[in-house]
């Protein structure tokens, strides 16, 4: 091992001489055979382990066989008494992470070390054992670990505590038994032991609010030695504050004085943690905020980039919720725009954009223009988003902000950046009518020189929707027709569609549009030609100025009303015969997205493409879905669809939830099923429902699901008949039945034969609230008066002893399923009485209003007066019945 | 969680790469992202002067020490301030092992000991020891002096 001889630090010599030069996995594995030598050479063994570590740290991986071989060889090194080597052995075992069947070979050596008189052997053995152990071994060594937690040597205690934090993820029930020892360790004089113990104790007790609160109370009074532990304590204290503020809205905020005191701590990380905790308090007042903002402002001019970053990041967050509180820092922020660190500069700019006032917009834009040229695209996108929000906040400033966006649109940039700008312009056009014409022209200019086909086609589509509605639609035609001449086939086809839209919507332009479309008939791409032919024929291409009929417009430009995926599949399956393709044969059932896609789908609304969905879209979607199923098409108008109720635990083999659809005479259960096992295909999936505890319901139809492949949700339905207009309730037990077929994961093909199987689901219920739609009223008093006292029913009820008044109010609101009005569902802390106003629409489309008056006595007995007004006497009675039962 | 400790030479070649709780398929992305971050920002930075960045809700604190660049990536409680505490421990430990801000050669010569130090400092994503003298003794399996 000549390479390991110490060299002097001559740079020239080094460049050609690395101790790991030409290192190769195979050779190192060969070298590892020295571990088996009867006469161990500790120095050489250490060098080989170093090489193994080097390989692992370079991202190299060992196969199972290689790792096992090395691991077994390494275990021989326990024979050596060399301390340096032993330390290396501990490390390499952890890095190799042997499998559970191999672990056994080292456990006895490690157990011996764990009881060693040498403290550091103990600490290391604990760390290794806890890294490689499983539950059964853990119970064997638990006794030693508990002792180690309270060991007087801080290294041993810390090793056991940190191990505990990791083990809590895999063996929570064991670690939770250590709580007394951990509690003792929290009082340790060693700073790090206290830090680790506090972290573990909190994790053990995180679901026990009272215990956390007690822990925080005692520690905020006592001494916390390390700044790291102090930070943890601040976090836990703010958690306690958050939870207690739900019950206690009046009076002083608990622990605020403690947080405020931490702002004067000597460690910067504690100051920041406290400042952040204060700024994030629920309903923080400006008096509470001021001291935190003041310290953060001081850090804005710190010489250390980390502190400037931390300060501006925190203030940026505050700017979202309390922009006025941050305005004092604006001067310091402005100087950060030129900060060398681009992250800091971007945060400063976005904060300024949030806090700036209308008069300062122009000046700010000037500063940003210089800044934009030298930051990366990802920062630019953040700035673009902030500018869009600013523009929506100050619509009068749209001119300068729109100009800014169009200027940066012309500069160099990647797709994501350009898309962010285009999206922003589109949103501004939609929300600020005055900005429409100039915005459209900016987009037109952009597509004159746009390298991204996707953006060009999206903009063309948008122009087709918005352009014809402007005062002078003709000025956009030139830009659109240029695309037909200059661009690739995809863009040309889009441009043809856009031209046709102008033709259909603006009669005066029609003759000229037809001339342009006729030129497209000679395009060398068939899609472009086809589109031109279609539009010319349907719009009446003979050149006469006639109004395009509504159904032609709907056919050409309306939405297809069927999922595109389904259309694609149907078209692929269609074989050209005498019979024409029938679009009405395409199923309208929406196949939900696979799980993976769902997770990745962003929440951000996209500006281009589909118009924003209306709030009722889920109901609409359900209605369409149900009406497309022949068995249910006679059920009439859908009254209500519930939110999905889970019928399986999280992370089981099959995930099933149910949506309850209520009709006048029927109830349909829609079971949304997901198969989470890649090796299985389920067929003929049905839910067998036992309605013996729901006497008024009779099953009338079942719609099975043909196939349920892995990770692609599907639906099966069961429909029941019930007496018309009667709010029948009941409980249903559900069993999922199916034929399961094995799938070969490599080919994805299922076997031919399957086996019948079933899977027990949770029960579902139809309750009174299912017959009530949550519909609010803007002015309850007026609505109440206008309904009049004719069908008013008033009665009083005793609700028995309750945990709190607020809990009783919630229970009644949930029972009735009505919409609380005017914020009356919130009960003031410590109040003895409360009034709550509810509104809703009962099945049969009957409007209902409810006034609830609650009172609570010293023994927590709650009494309630219920006054109902509705358009129908029997409905008022029905509401009382719900409560009485 | 302290998601990653990455040490490279000044050209951006990896010397040490330790990930915690980062899926295998994302590691390459992180590696190239960090190396590019260093290439863009570490020119002319003084020894141990900390740079900071954030990317997709994680924080990155990085610095130069001699001829090696050191990057720490963290999220949640390991924010920029906790990371600067941790990177301070890492740099002090390396300086201690090497006797000075290391050249790449010196770093590689002391590779095994540096790995041991990192093992004492970060335990699968959690900060374990923060005192350089204690770390120095622990890698030699000596008990801490203050005890």
Give me the pLDDT at residue A5, please: 43
Q: Report residue A418's pLDDT band, with 50, 70 and 90 as the boundaries.
A: very high
Does A96 score more than 70 pLDDT? yes
Mutate to test the interface with A, among B80, B110, B125, B137 (most CBs of A within 10 A): B80
Q: A201 and A167 in contact (C-beta within 8 Å)?
A: no
Residue B15 vs residues A59, A774, B69, B94, B107: alpha-carbon distances, Å:
10, 62, 10, 13, 9
Give me the pLDDT at residue A754, please: 87
Give me the pLDDT at residue A7, please: 42
Q: B63 and B94 in contact (C-beta within 8 Å)?
A: no
B69 Cα to chain A: minimum distance (Å) = 15
Residues 115-134 of A with CB under 8 A from B: 118-121, 123-124, 127, 131
Strand partners, A703: A717
Q: A19 and B109 in contact (C-beta within 8 Å)?
A: yes
Residues 222-241 of A with CB under 8 A from B: 227-228, 231-232, 235
Residue pointed to by tokens 């949640």: B76
Distance in angstroms (rounded) separating the CA atoms of residues A882 and A766: 13
Q: E strands, A493-548, where?
A: none
Stretches in chain B below the pLDDT threshold 50: none
Q: A160 and A145 in contact (C-beta within 8 Å)?
A: yes
Q: Report residue A589's pLDDT band, with 50, 70 and 90 as the boundaries.
A: low
Distance in angstroms (rounded) separating the CA atoms of residues A213 and A574: 67
Ramachandran assignment for B99, one of left (phi > 0), alpha (psi -120 to 50 degrees), beta (any other): left
The more confidently predicted of residues A275 and A619 is A275
A279-311 pLDDT, tens per residue? 999 888 888 899 999 999 999 999 999 999 999
Q: What is the mean pLDDT of chain A?
A: 85
Give me the pLDDT at residue A856, please: 86
Query: How confident is the model over A714-738, as a mean pLDDT?
Result: 89
Give me the pLDDT at residue A108, please: 85
Q: A433 and A397 in contact (C-beta within 8 Å)?
A: no
Instruction: Give the dihedral of Cα atoms B84, B87, B92, B94; nearest 10 deg.
Output: -170
Selecting from A152, A153, A310 the residue whose C-beta is nearest the C-beta of B80 gives A310
Strand partners, A582: none
- What phi, psi does A358 have (nearest 5°)? -60, -35
Distance in angstroms (rounded) separating the CA atoms of residues A237 and A563: 50
A27-58 pLDDT, tens per residue? 999 999 999 998 889 999 999 999 999 999 88
User: Taking CB atoms and an 8 Å limit, are A124 and B18 in contact across chains?
Assistant: no
Q: Report residue A2's pLDDT band, with 50, 70 and 90 as the boundaries.
A: very low
Query: How confident is the model over A491-495, as a mean pLDDT?
Result: 95
Give me the pLDDT at residue A552, please: 74
Give me the pLDDT at residue A311, please: 96
User: Taking CB atoms and an 8 Å limit, are A50 and B147 in contact across chains?
Assistant: no
User: Taking CB atoms and an 8 Å limit, are A120 and B105 in contact across chains?
Assistant: no
Q: Report residue A609's pLDDT band, with 50, 70 and 90 as the boundaries.
A: very low
Structure tokens at A627: 């009406």
User: Taking CB atoms and an 8 Å limit, are A83 and B141 in contact across chains?
Assistant: yes
Does A473 score more than 80 pLDDT? yes
Q: Report residue A851's pLDDT band, with 50, 70 and 90 as the boundaries.
A: very high
Residue A466 vs residues A441, A473, A536, B62, B125: alpha-carbon distances, Å:
12, 9, 21, 49, 53
Query: How confident is the model over A738-742, as a mean pLDDT?
Result: 90
Does A603 score more than 50 pLDDT? no
User: Taking CB atoms and an 8 Å limit, are A88 and B103 in contact across chains?
Assistant: no
Does A743 score more than 90 pLDDT? no
Q: Report residue A350's pLDDT band, with 50, 70 and 90 as the boundaries.
A: confident
User: Taking CB atoms and an 8 Å limit, are A228 and B79 in contact across chains?
Assistant: no
A153-175 pLDDT, tens per residue? 999 999 999 999 999 988 888 99
Selecting from B112, B139, B141 the residue whose C-beta is nearest the C-beta of A46 gives B112
A15-35 pLDDT, tens per residue? 557 788 888 999 999 999 999
CB contacts < 8 Å between A and B, how many? Answer: 143
Distance in angstroms (rounded) separating the CA atoms of residues A324 and B78: 29
Whether pTM exceeds 0.80: no
Query: How confident is the model over A748-755, as a mean pLDDT?
Result: 83
ipTM of the complex: 0.94
Give me the pLDDT at residue A588, please: 66
Give me the pLDDT at residue A141, please: 86
| Cβ-Cβ contacts under 8 Å, B121 against chain A | none
Strand partners, A335: none
Give me the pLDDT at residue A356, please: 75
Give me the pLDDT at residue A52, please: 94
Highest mean pLDDT out of A89-98, A408-417, A495-504: A495-504
Does A679 score more than 80 pLDDT? yes
Selecting from A124, A159, A269 the residue whose C-beta is nearest the C-beta of B82 gives A269
Mutate to test the interface with B, among A53, A113, A163 (most CBs of B within 10 A): A53
**With pLDDT > 90 as the criterion, what percentage of chain A qualifies?**
34
Give me the pLDDT at residue A602, please: 39
Does A565 score more than 50 pLDDT? yes
Does A614 score more than 50 pLDDT? no
Distance in angstroms (rounded) separating the CA atoms of residues A83 and A123: 14
Selecting from B50, B81, B111 the residue whose C-beta is nearest the C-beta of A50 gives B111
């Amino acid at each position: 091992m000549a390479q390991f001889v110490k060299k002097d630090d001559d740079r020239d010599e080094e460049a050609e001489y690395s101790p790991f030069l030409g290192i190769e996995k195979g050779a190192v594995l060969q070298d590892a055979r020295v571990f088996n030598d009867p006469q161990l050479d500790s120095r050489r063994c250490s060098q080989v382990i170093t090489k193994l570590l080097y390989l692992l740290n370079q991202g190299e991986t060992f196969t199972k066989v290689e790792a096992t071989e090395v691991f077994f060889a390494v275990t021989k090194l326990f024979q050596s008494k060399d301390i340096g080597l032993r330390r290396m052995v501990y490390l390499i075992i952890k890095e190799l992470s042997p499998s559970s069947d191999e672990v056994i070979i080292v456990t006895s050596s490690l157990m011996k070390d764990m009881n060693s008189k040498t403290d550091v052997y103990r600490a290391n053995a604990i760390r290794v054992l806890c890294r490689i152990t499983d539950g059964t071994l853990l119970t064997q060594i638990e006794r030693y670990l508990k002792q180690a937690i309270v060991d007087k040597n801080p290294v041993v205690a810390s090793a056991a505590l940190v191990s505990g934090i990791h083990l809590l993820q895999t063996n929570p029930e064991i670690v939770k038994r250590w709580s007394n020892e951990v509690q003792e360790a929290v009082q340790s004089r060693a700073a790090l032991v206290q830090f680790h113990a506090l972290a573990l104790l909190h994790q053990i007790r995180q679901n026990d609010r009272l215990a956390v609160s007690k822990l925080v109370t005692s520690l905020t009074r006592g001494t916390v030695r390390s700044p790291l532990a102090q930070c943890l304590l601040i976090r836990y204290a703010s958690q306690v504050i958050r939870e207690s503020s739900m019950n206690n809205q009046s009076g002083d905020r608990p622990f605020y004085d403690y947080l405020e005191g931490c702002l004067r701590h000597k460690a910067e990380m504690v100051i920041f943690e406290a400042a952040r905790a204060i700024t994030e308090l629920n309903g923080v007042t400006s008096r509470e905020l001021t001291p935190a903002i003041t310290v953060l402002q001081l850090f804005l001019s710190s010489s250390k980039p980390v502190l400037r970053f931390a300060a501006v990041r925190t203030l940026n967050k505050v700017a979202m919720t309390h922009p006025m509180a941050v305005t004092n820092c604006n001067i310091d922020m402005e100087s950060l725009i030129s900060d060398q660190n681009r992250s800091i500069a971007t945060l400063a700019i976005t904060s300024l954009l949030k806090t700036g006032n209308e008069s300062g917009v122009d000046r700010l834009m000037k500063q940003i223009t210089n800044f934009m040229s030298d930051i990366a695209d990802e920062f630019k996108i953040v700035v673009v988003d902030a500018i869009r929000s600013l523009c929506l906040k100050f619509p009068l400033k749209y001119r300068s902000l729109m100009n800014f966006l169009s200027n940066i649109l012309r500069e160099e940039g990647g797709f994501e950046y350009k898309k962010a700008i285009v999206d922003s312009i589109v949103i501004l056009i939609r929300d600020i009518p005055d900005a429409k014409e100039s915005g459209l022209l900016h987009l037109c200019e952009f597509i004159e020189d746009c390298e991204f086909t996707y953006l060009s086609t999206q903009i063309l589509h948008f122009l087709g929707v918005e352009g014809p509605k402007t005062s002078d639609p003709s000025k956009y035609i030139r830009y659109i027709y240029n695309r037909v001449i200059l661009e690739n086939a995809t863009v040309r086809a889009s441009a043809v569609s856009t031209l046709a839209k102008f033709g259909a919507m603006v009669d005066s332009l029609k003759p000229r549009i037809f001339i342009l479309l006729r030129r497209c008939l000679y395009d060398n791409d068939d899609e472009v030609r086809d589109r031109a032919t279609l539009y010319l024929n349907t719009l009446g291409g003979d050149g006469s100025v006639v109004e395009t009929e509504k159904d032609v417009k709907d056919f050409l430009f309306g939405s297809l009303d069927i999922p595109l995926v389904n259309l694609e599949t149907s078209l692929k399956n269609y074989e050209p015969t005498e019979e024409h393709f029938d679009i009405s044969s395409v199923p309208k059932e929406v196949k939900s997205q696979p799980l993976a896609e769902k997770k990745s789908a962003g929440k951000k609304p996209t500006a281009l493409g589909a118009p924003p969905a209306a709030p009722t879209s889920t109901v609409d979607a359900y209605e369409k879905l149900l009406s497309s199923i022949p068995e249910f098409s006679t059920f009439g108008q859908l009254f209500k669809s519930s939110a999905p109720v889970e019928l399986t635990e999280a992370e089981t083999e099959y995930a099933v939830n149910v949506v309850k659809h209520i009709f006048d005479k029927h109830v349909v259960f829609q079971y949304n099923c997901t198969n989470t096992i890649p090796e299985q295909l389920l067929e003929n999936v049905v839910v067998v429902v036992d309605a013996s505890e729901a006497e008024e319901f009779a099953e009338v139809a079942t719609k099975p699901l043909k196939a349920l492949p892995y990770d692609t949700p599907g639906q099966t339905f069961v429909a029941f008949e019930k007496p018309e207009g009667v709010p029948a309730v009941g409980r249903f037990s559900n069993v999922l039945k199916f034929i399961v077929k094995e799938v070969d994961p490599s080919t994805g093909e299922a076997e031919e034969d399957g086996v019948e199987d079933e899977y027990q689901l949770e029960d579902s219920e139809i309750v009174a609230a299912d017959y009530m739609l949550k519909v609010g009223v803007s002015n309850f008093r007026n609505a109440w008066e206008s309904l009049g006292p004719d069908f008013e029913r008033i009665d009083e009820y005793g609700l028995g002893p309750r945990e709190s008044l607020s809990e009783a109010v919630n229970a009644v609101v949930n029972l009735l399923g009505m919409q609380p009005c005017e914020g009356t569902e919130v009960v003031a802390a410590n109040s003895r009485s409360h009034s709550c106003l509810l509104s809703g629409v009962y099945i049969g489309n009957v409007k209902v209003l409810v006034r609830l008056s609650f009172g609570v006595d010293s023994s927590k007995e709650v009494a309630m007066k219920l006054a109902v007004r509705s358009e129908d006497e029997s409905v008022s009675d029905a509401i009382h019945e719900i409560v009485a039962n | 969680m302290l998601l990653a400790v990455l040490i490279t030479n000044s050209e951006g070649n990896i010397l040490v790469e330790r990930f915690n709780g980062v899926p295998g398929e994302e590691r390459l992305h992180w590696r190239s992202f960090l190396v590019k971050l260093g290439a863009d920002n570490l020119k002319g930075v003084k020894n141990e002067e900390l740079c900071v960045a954030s990317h997709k809700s994680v924080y990155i604190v990085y610095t130069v020490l001699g001829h090696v660049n050191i990057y720490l990536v963290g999220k949640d409680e390991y924010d920029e301030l906790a990371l600067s505490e941790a990177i301070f421990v890492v740099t002090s430990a390396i300086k201690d092992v090497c006797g000075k801000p290391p050249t790449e050669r010196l770093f590689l010569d002391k590779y095994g000991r540096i790995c041991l130090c990192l093992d004492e400092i970060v335990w699968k994503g959690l900060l374990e020891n923060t005192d350089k003298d204690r770390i120095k003794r622990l890698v030699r399996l000596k008990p801490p002096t203050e005890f």
